[in-house]
C-alpha cells in the first residue's frame, strides 16, 4: 500500500523522487538466497505484479532494478544517493553518490550475470559484464589508504575520507566492499582491521566514527542526534551482521 511513482505524494519537497537508492537492490541477495535454499531456478520466470500496474517475470524485475541504478548515476558514474541510501539521515541527493549502493549494484550485477548465463541471455551477459567492469574501476578509485570512502556530496567533495575531522570511518562501505567482491584481499584485510580498530565496542560496531559535532554538511542529518546515538555513530542491529558476513 505504499505510494507509487504515479502518485503526486511520491515526490518530496526536495524535488526528487522519494526513492531510496538501495531499495530495489535488496532483490538480489533475497532472490539469490531463495533459489540457493530451494533449488527453484524456475522462480526467475514467476510473474510478479508491479506496485502500480502490470507485471513481469522476477528476471525482468531484477533487470529493472539494475536499470534504475544505471539511470541514476552521477559525476563519478556511481549511483546517486537520492532520498537516502539505507541511512535515512544521509542525504546525498541526485548529484551526490553512494559507494555503499555502488557496491550493492556491483553485487547485483554479479548475481544477474550468473542467471543470464544459465538462460543463454548472451546479449545481456555482454552488457552487464561491461557495466560491472566499469563500476569496479570506479569503486576502486574510492579506496583511501585503509578504508573505502562513504561517497560524494553534490559538491563533489568526498564523504568519509580519512582526512575528515569527523565521520572519517563508516561501517557500511567496508562490509559491502568485501561482500560484493569489490575489495582486493589486501583492501579487505585493511578495511576490516580499520573497522575493528575504530568502530568496535563491547556492544557491537558503531555506524560511523567520530560522530558529527561541528563539521556536518547539509545532507548529514544525523547531526540532529547526540554523538554515538542513532545514525550519528549509534549501534544498529541491521548492519552488524553485514560485517560478520564480510569477516
State how far the Cα of 65 lies from the Cα of 44, in Å rounded to an integer.
Answer: 14
State how far the Cα of 212 lies from the Cα of 191, in Å rounded to an integer.
Answer: 21
- 3-state SS class at 179: helix
Residues contacting 116, CB < 8 A, separation 6+: 122, 124, 125, 128
Q: Check if the beta carbon of residue 102 is closer than 8 Å to that of residue 22.
A: no
State how far the Cα of 166 lies from the Cα of 60, in Å rounded to an integer.
Answer: 42
Choice among 40, 88, 146, 164 that is catalytic: 88
**Could you confirm whether 164 is annotated as catalytic?**
no
Which residues are designated catalytic? 88
Amino acid at each position: 500500500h505504499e505510494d507509487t511513482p504515479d502518485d503526486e505524494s511520491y515526490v518530496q519537497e526536495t524535488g526528487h523522487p522519494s526513492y531510496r537508492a538501495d531499495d530495489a537492490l535488496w532483490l538480489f541477495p533475497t532472490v539469490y538466497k531463495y533459489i540457493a535454499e530451494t533449488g527453484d531456478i524456475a522462480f526467475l520466470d514467476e510473474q510478479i505484479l508491479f506496485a502500480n500496474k502490470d507485471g513481469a517475470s522476477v528476471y525482468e524485475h531484477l533487470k529493472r532494478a539494475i536499470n534504475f541504478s544505471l539511470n541514476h548515476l552521477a559525476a563519478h558514474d556511481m549511483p546517486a544517493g537520492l532520498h537516502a541510501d539505507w541511512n535515512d539521515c544521509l542525504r546525498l541527493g541526485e548529484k551526490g553518490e553512494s559507494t555503499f549502493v555502488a557496491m550493492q549494484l556491483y553485487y547485483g550485477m554479479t548475481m544477474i550475470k550468473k542467471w543470464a548465463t544459465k538462460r543463454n541471455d548472451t546479449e545481456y551477459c555482454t552488457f552487464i559484464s561491461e557495466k560491472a567492469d566499469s563500476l569496479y574501476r570506479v569503486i576502486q578509485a574510492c579506496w583511501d589508504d585503509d578504508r573505502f570512502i562513504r561517497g560524494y556530496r553534490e559538491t563533489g567533495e568526498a564523504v568519509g575520507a580519512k582526512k575528515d575531522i569527523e565521520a572519517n570511518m563508516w561501517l557500511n562501505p567496508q562490509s559491502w566492499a568485501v561482500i560484493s567482491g569489490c575489495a582486493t584481499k589486501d583492501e579487505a584485510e585493511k578495511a576490516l582491521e580499520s573497522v575493528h580498530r575504530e568502530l568496535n565496542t563491547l556492544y557491537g560496531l558503531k555506524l560511523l566514527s567520530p560522530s558529527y559535532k561541528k563539521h556536518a554538511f547539509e545532507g548529514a542529518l544525523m547531526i540532529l542526534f547526540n554523538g554515538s546515538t542513532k545514525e550519528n555513530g549509534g549501534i544498529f542491529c541491521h548492519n552488524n551482521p553485514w560485517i560478520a558476513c564480510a569477516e
